[in-house]
């Protein structure tokens, strides 16, 4: 344990002793401290009493209305054509089975005589060995010469017969007149000449038929023979498809036929159509076609009408700008048929028509208005509204969580300006090859 340092007697003498406090002062200090404690307690009690007697009341503030973000587009009153959309199948407009007309061995086949090969009308496709047919022509020519010579000899005999008949005069029996004038012999010689001429014509025709040419501008769909094969009349050689025109068979609901122009059904010239084949051509590329006719029966099962669309130069064998986009037989293609024109309508995305008959409008006061409309035409992508939307009004095309009429709305930073004039919306902005 540490010890305190001791002080010397001199240091103790220098320290003055502390004066002792009197009892009066001690009593006053106690009283002051007591009063101070009582004052603090009284103040605390008073404050507690005031707080309990007048508790604070929360002031209710009116709820702040927060505007809902919405995507809007301006409505344009315009004229637009009805677009009938569906799927179709590419089929040949003309398909024939090419067959041999004479017998013989195939001596020559054109290099393009393969599936997919193209021939113009009159171009040689196959040649049959013609040696026998050339000999037949020579033989028939000789027969004709002999028959004509026999006829000339008989004409000489006719002169002699007429002189003899004159010498006999009236003594010759009437029933023997034809024999005396050698008329049967003359008719026989004339018939022999005609037979020889017909034989020569047939021989020449058979010789021509050894050369098999394309009956029209065609493409080979299927080849059935090869070089060296022996064929008889009627033996199929190949299947040809007309390359000048293909057809597209498309089904259309019966109630949509009234919007289309169909030759022989409700109009003179057929409606124009666009044919899309995205897997082969890519998006946005289409070929043009035209409604050709309506088939006489409905499709089994679906009870839908069937139309034929004609597409000229389907393989694009002529001169074309840019890469070709040929049609493929049997391909399933998407069809858009341009129907009749509707005037003073608003084109609305199908998703923006709520419950089939309502649209949402952003009013000039930035509030929502739920408005009924009347549709003139509907399809899976757009609805043509004829009544209920005015030019320039802002259509709400985005979904809202809890749509209520009058709810505040706000558009994004790219809010479109209301249209002040009628504008035309171009249909079919896709490109055509």
pLDDT at 127 over 80: yes
Q: Per the domain annotation, does 18 fall within a domain?
A: no
Q: What is the pLDDT of residues 163-193, one digit of tens each?
A: 666 666 555 555 555 555 566 777 777 888 8
Q: Note whether 273 and 183 are same-domain residues.
A: no
User: Cβ(383)–Cβ(348) under 8 Å?
Assistant: yes
pLDDT number for residue 297: 87
Tell me which of 186, 208, 239 is where a domain ends: 239
Average pLDDT over residues 343-366: 90
Average pLDDT over residues 113-119: 93
Q: Note whether 235 and 333 are same-domain residues.
A: no
Q: What is the pLDDT of residues 46-62, one digit of tens each?
A: 777 777 777 666 666 66
Q: Note whether 157 and 223 are same-domain residues.
A: yes
Q: What is the pLDDT of residues 223-258, one digit of tens each?
A: 999 998 999 999 999 999 999 999 999 999 998 999
pLDDT number for residue 59: 65
pLDDT number for residue 427: 40
Q: Note whether 107 and 233 are same-domain residues.
A: yes
Q: Per the domain annotation, does 422 fall within a domain?
A: no
Domain span at residue 377 reads: 70-80+343-411
Tell me which of 340, 367, 392 is where a domain ends: 340
The mean pLDDT of the chain is: 82
Q: Per the domain annotation, does 54 fall within a domain?
A: no
Confidence label for 1 from pLDDT (cuts 50, 70 and 90): very low
Q: Per the domain annotation, does 270 fall within a domain?
A: yes
Q: Per the domain annotation, does 40 fall within a domain?
A: no
Confidence label for 15 from pLDDT (cuts 50, 70 and 90): very low
β pairing state of 218-223 and 118-119? antiparallel
Name which of 363, 308, 368, 366 is nearest 337 in CA terms.
308
* Whole-number percent of the chain with pLDDT over 90: 45
User: Cβ(100)–Cβ(235) under 8 Å?
Assistant: yes
Q: Is 296 helix (H, G, I), strand (E, B) or coil?
A: coil
pLDDT number for residue 151: 77
- When comparing pLDDT for 22 and 194, which is higher? 194
Q: Note whether 195 and 302 are same-domain residues.
A: no
pLDDT at 391 over 80: yes
For the four alpha carbons of 102, 104, 107 and 109, in that order, the dihedral sign comes to positive
pLDDT at 262 over 60: yes
Confidence label for 8 from pLDDT (cuts 50, 70 and 90): low
Question: CATH no. for residue 366?
Answer: 2.40.420.20
Angle at 395 between CA 392 and CA 397, to 5 degrees: 150
Backbone angles phi, psi at 180, to 5 degrees: -60, -35
Residue 370 is given by DSSP the state E
Q: For residue 389, what are its two tokens? A: 């939307």
Average pLDDT over residues 192-218: 92
Confidence label for 260 from pLDDT (cuts 50, 70 and 90): very high
- When comparing pLDDT for 424 and 100, which is higher? 100
Instruction: Give the integer Cα–Cα distance in Å for 75 and 61.
Output: 39
Range among 9-18, 130-139, 144-153 with highest mean pLDDT value: 130-139
* Whole-number percent of the chain with pLDDT over 70: 78
Q: Note whether 315 and 359 are same-domain residues.
A: no
Instruction: Give the integer Cα–Cα distance in Å for 173 and 263.
Output: 75
Angle at 198 between CA 192 and CA 202, to 5 degrees: 145
Hunting for tokens 């706000």 — which residue is that? 410
Backbone angles phi, psi at 124, to 5 degrees: -70, 130
Q: Note whether 329 and 281 are same-domain residues.
A: yes
User: Cβ(220)–Cβ(115) under 8 Å?
Assistant: yes
pLDDT number for residue 429: 42
User: Cβ(224)–Cβ(100) under 8 Å?
Assistant: no
Average pLDDT over residues 21-48: 72
Instruction: Give the integer Cα–Cα distance in Å for 142 and 267.
Output: 62
pLDDT number for residue 175: 55
pLDDT number for residue 193: 86
Instruction: Give the integer Cα–Cα distance in Å for 367 and 357.
Output: 20
Q: Is 397 helix (H, G, I), strand (E, B) or coil?
A: coil
Q: Note whether 172 and 197 are same-domain residues.
A: yes
Q: For residue 116, what are its two tokens? A: 């997919």
pLDDT at 283 over 60: yes
Q: Per the domain annotation, does 6 fall within a domain?
A: no
pLDDT at 14 over 50: no
pLDDT number for residue 279: 92
Q: Note whether 320 and 374 are same-domain residues.
A: no
Between 13-17, 94-98, 374-378, the lowest mean confidence (pLDDT) is in 13-17
Q: For residue 267, what are its two tokens? A: 């109009």
Average pLDDT over residues 116-134: 93
pLDDT number for residue 131: 92
Hunting for tokens 């840019």 — which residue is that? 322
Q: Note whether 212 and 266 are same-domain residues.
A: no
Our count of domains for the chain comes to: 3
Tell me which of 239, 259, 291 is where a domain ends: 239
Angle at 421 between CA 417 and CA 423, to 5 degrees: 95
Q: Per the domain annotation, does 129 fall within a domain?
A: yes
pLDDT number for residue 420: 38
pLDDT number for residue 412: 67
Between 60-64, 279-283, 287-291, the lowest mean confidence (pLDDT) is in 60-64
Q: Note whether 178 and 229 are same-domain residues.
A: yes
Q: Per the domain annotation, does 62 fall within a domain?
A: no
For the four alpha carbons of 383, 385, 388 and 393, in that order, the dihedral sign comes to positive
Question: What number of other Cβ atoms are within 10 A of residue 75's Cβ?
Answer: 21
Between 25-34, 184-193, 323-332, 418-427, the lowest mean confidence (pLDDT) is in 418-427
pLDDT number for residue 204: 92
Q: Note whether 194 and 101 are same-domain residues.
A: yes
pLDDT at 295 over 60: yes
């Amino acid at each position: 344990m540490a010890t305190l340092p001791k002080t010397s007697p001199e240091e103790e003498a220098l320290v003055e002793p502390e004066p002792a406090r009197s009892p009066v002062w001690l009593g006053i200090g106690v009283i002051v401290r007591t009063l101070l404690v009582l004052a603090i307690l009284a103040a605390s009690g008073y404050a507690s009493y005031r707080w309990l007697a007048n508790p604070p009341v929360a002031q209710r503030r009116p709820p702040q209305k927060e505007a809902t973000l919405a995507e809007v587009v301006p409505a344009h009153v315009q004229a637009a054509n009805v677009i009938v959309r569906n799927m179709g199948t590419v089929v040949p407009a003309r398909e024939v089975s090419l067959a041999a007309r004479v017998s013989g061995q195939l001596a020559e086949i054109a290099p393009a005589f393969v599936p997919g090969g193209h021939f113009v009308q009159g171009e040689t496709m196959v040649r049959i060995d013609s040696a026998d047919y050339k000999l037949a022509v020579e033989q028939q020519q000789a027969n004709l010469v002999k028959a004509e010579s026999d006829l000339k000899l008989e004409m000489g005999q006719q002169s002699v017969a007429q002189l003899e008949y004159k010498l006999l005069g009236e003594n010759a029996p009437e029933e023997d007149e034809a024999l005396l004038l050698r008329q049967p012999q003359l008719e026989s010689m004339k018939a022999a000449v005609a037979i020889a001429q017909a034989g020569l014509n047939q021989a020449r025709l058979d010789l021509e038929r050894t050369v098999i040419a394309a009956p029209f501008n065609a493409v080979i769909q299927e080849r059935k023979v090869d070089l060296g094969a022996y064929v008889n009349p009627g033996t199929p050689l190949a299947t040809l498809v007309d390359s000048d025109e293909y057809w597209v068979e498309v089904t259309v609901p019966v109630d949509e036929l009234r919007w289309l122009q169909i030759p022989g059904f409700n109009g003179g010239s057929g409606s124009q159509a666009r044919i899309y084949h995205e897997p082969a051509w890519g998006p946005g590329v289409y070929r043009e076609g035209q409604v050709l006719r309506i088939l006489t029966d409905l499709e089994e099962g679906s009870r839908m009408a069937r139309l034929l669309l004609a597409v000229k130069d389907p393989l694009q064998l002529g001169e074309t700008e840019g890469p070709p986009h040929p049609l493929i037989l049997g391909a399933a293609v998407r069809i858009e048929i341009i129907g009749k024109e509707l005037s003073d309508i608003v084109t609305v995305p199908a998703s923006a028509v709520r419950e089939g008959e309502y649209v949402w409008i952003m009013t000039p006061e930035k509030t929502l208005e739920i408005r009924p409309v009347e549709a003139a035409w509907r399809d899976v992508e757009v609805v043509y509204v004829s009544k209920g939307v005015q030019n320039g009004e802002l259509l709400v095309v985005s979904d809202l969580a809890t749509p209520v009429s009058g709810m505040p709305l706000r558009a994004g930073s790219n809010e479109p300006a209301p249209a002040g004039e009628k504008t035309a919306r171009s249909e079919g902005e896709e490109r055509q090859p």
